[in-house]
Amino acid sequence: MTVVAPDIVSELELALEEWGGTWRRKRYETADLEGQKLVIAATPDRELNQSIFEEADARNIPVNVVDDPALCTFIVPSIVDRNPITIAINSGGSSPVLARNVRTQIETLVPQGYGRLARWAGQMRERVKAAIGDESGRRHFWEALLGGAIAEQVMAGDEAGATQTLETALASGRPATGEVFLIGAGPGDPDLMTFKALRLLQRADVILYDRLVNPAIVDMARKDAERFYVGKQRDEHAVPQDRINQWLLELAQQGQCVARLKGGDPFIFGRGGEEIALLAEHQVPFQVVPAVTAASAAAAYGGIPLTHRDHAQSVRFITGHTKNGELSLDWQSMQSPAETLVFYMGLVGLPIICRELQAHGRDADTPCALVEKASTPEQRVLTGTLATMASVVEREQPKAPTLIIVGSVAGLHQSLGWFRPRG
């Protein structure tokens, strides 16, 4: 690249050094076109741009005058690059900003792994062609394969596993489509779902969802997908856990794509490990999609940093779920004032938590916060201390889901709380 300009910005100068380009520190002259194969004019002088356009065009050199479509023999589209797949978005020069906005939307819809999938599919073409001689049958095979479990294996980086699954599918004459997606639905706000979570949810034939999953997230699934509620709350399980595990296995073995939607993150107090153990035992393909866990969401939306160099250098996630009215925890290990404690499922056990932390040495004035329905329009943040929090909760009567944060960082809510829910 050759740059002709009296002055350039430092970023462009560094780019020229990195790419081996040349900077001609002067104003443009017609002689600068000699030997060039493509020209971009980006000066603030329209008359100069007009001259560059006419002189380049007369020499049959493609020329683009930035933000002036009338002075362009080519345009530069916005690009979504999934090499070897490339998508170009072009407004014909009428609105480059709008084209960039369209590119941003497409970026969210086209997984990064599509390039890897395209390269792998290219490597497998001859193998599939040899196994399936009929062109129509081969096309249907590819259509099913590229929208199924094998494609997900490739995009996840398991090309060797995908190739092995492909061989099995070719031997049976059809792609193996049964798969389970263990998807974290996050704390409640649908906007906190990951791109991958949304993409896999919309691929699923069957949805099994929990009580804490926002209905708006369930509604993001395909309209024709079957939906089954398998939620749990204290002393009431719609479907026993063992039955859920077995159900996931059976549906996948029937060739279904199953989305198991769980509130928060499936691997943080979500029994995600239990639900995939049976799948792993029977070699059923599955994926785990992590999510924003309740601790991160409640803290962020409550303006409470879980760690802070002036307050806490570590954080501990703890289950506050009581059994038979008791809560057996290693209270002695929770006494460091430099550690933030986060209790999941601790609403019923909150009086016990406050009492035992004080009994084992934590200061009664330690700040506490209870975040109710974090990240949703119904969010509330109740604050107090270990000495007062039980009475605050008794007075305010919060409802699950809640999360309890103990430590000096909880005192930052008053100054850092930014989220103002509606209502």
CA distance 78 to 91: 9
CA distance 300 to 172: 50
How many beta carbons lie within 10 A of that of residue 367, not counting itself?
22
Q: List the structure tokens of 296.
A: 């991160």
DSSP per position, 305-358: -S-BTTTBSEEEEEE---BTTB----GGGG--TTEEEEEES-TTTHHHHHHHHH
State in Å, rounded, how far the first CA of the chain is from the last one: 57
CA distance 391 to 395: 6
**SS3 state at 297:** helix
CA distance 273 to 340: 26
Q: List the structure tokens of 143.
A: 């259509």
> Which residues form the catalytic set?
210, 232
**Alpha-carbon radius of gyration of the chain:** 29
User: 260 φ, ψ to 5°?
Assistant: -100, 100
Q: List the structure tokens of 243.
A: 């039955």
Place of tokens 């978005």: 89
